[in-house]
A and B are shown apart, each in its own frame.
Chain A
Amino acid sequence: MTDRLYDAAGTTAPIATDGDGFVLHDDDRRAILDERDHYEQPQAACIEALKIVQKRHSWVPDAAIAAIAEALGVGVGAVEGVATFYNLIFRQPVGRHVILVCDSSSCFLTGFEELGEALSQRLGIGFGETTKDNRFTLLPTCCLGACDRGPAMMIGDDTFGPIAPDDLSELLEAYP
Chain B
Amino acid sequence: MMTSIPSNSRLRYKSQLRQPASERLEHTHPLTWRLNDDGSRVGLDEYRQKNGYVGAQNALEQAPDDIIQAMKTANVRGRGGGGFSAGVKWSLTQVGDNLPRGYMVCNADEMEPGTFKDRLLMEQQPHLLIEGMIISARANRSKYGYIFLRGEYVDAARSLSLAIEEAREAGLLGDDVAGSGFDFDISLHTGAGRYICGEETALINSLEGKRANPRAKPPFPGQSGAWGKPTVVNNVETLCNAPAVLQHGAEWYQELSGNLSNDGGTKLYGVSGLVACPGLWELPIGTTGWDILERAGGMREGHTLKTWLPGGGSTGFLLPEHLELPLDFDTVGQYGSRLGTGLLTVVSQRQSLVALLRNLEQFFARESCGWCTPCRDGLPWAAKILQTLEHGEGRPGDIELLQEHAANIGPGLTFCAHAPGAAMPLESAIRHFRADFAAGIVEEDAKGGSAVADGSDTAAAKEEVS
Contacts from A to B (Cβ < 8 Å): 1-2, 5, 38-41, 43-48, 50-51, 74, 78, 81-82, 85-89, 100, 103-106, 108-110, 141-150, 152, 154-161, 163, 167, 170-171, 173-175
Contacts and interface: CB of A to CB of B under 8 A. Distances in A.
A33 B280 CA distance: 40
A43 B363 contact: no
24 contacts: A1-B185, A40-B229, A41-B209, A45-B209, A47-B192, A82-B210, A87-B193, A88-B192, A88-B193, A105-B113, A142-B367, A143-B112, A143-B114, A145-B115, A145-B116, A147-B278, A149-B278, A154-B152, A160-B13, A163-B11, A167-B11, A170-B5, A174-B4, A174-B5
A48 B194 contact: no
B140 interface: no
Contacts of B112: 143
B152 A51 contact: no
A156 B4 CA distance: 13
A26 B464 CA distance: 56
A147 B272 contact: yes
A43 B208 CA distance: 7
B456 to A, nearest CB: 22
A104 B12 contact: no
A105 B4 contact: no
A145 B8 CA distance: 19
Contact of A147 (B116, B185, B187, B210): B116
Contacts of B227: 40-41
B13 to A, nearest CB: 4
Contact of A144 (B152, B175, B359, B360): B152
Given A78-B209, A144-B152, 10 more contacts: A40-B226, A44-B208, A85-B194, A85-B211, A87-B192, A141-B193, A148-B16, A150-B272, A160-B11, A170-B11
Contacts of B13: 144, 146, 149, 152, 159-161
A142 B191 CA distance: 13
A86 B193 contact: yes
B42 interface: no
A109 B113 contact: no
A140 B38 CA distance: 31
Given A143-B114, A144-B152, A158-B3, A105 B12 contact: no
A5 B144 contact: yes
Contact of B194 (A5, A87, A174): A87
Contacts of A155: 3
Given A85-B212, A174-B5, A145 B110 contact: yes
B347 A109 contact: yes
B210 to A, nearest CB: 7
A145 B153 contact: yes
Interface in B309-368: 309, 313, 343, 345-348, 351, 355-356, 359-360, 363, 367
> Which of the listed residues A1, A48, A51, A109 has the most CB atoms from chain B within 10 Å of its own CB?
A109
Nearest to A46: B209
B154 A157 contact: yes
Contacts of B243: none
Given A108-B356, A110-B272, A147-B116, A78 B12 contact: no
A106 B309 CA distance: 10
Contact of A142 (B111, B153, B155, B343): B111
Contact of A109 (B211, B279, B351): B351
Nearest to A175: B3
Nearest to A143: B113
A45 B192 CA distance: 12
Given A2-B175, A45-B209, A86 B114 contact: no
A78 B348 CA distance: 46
Given A142-B193, A146-B13, A103 B359 contact: yes
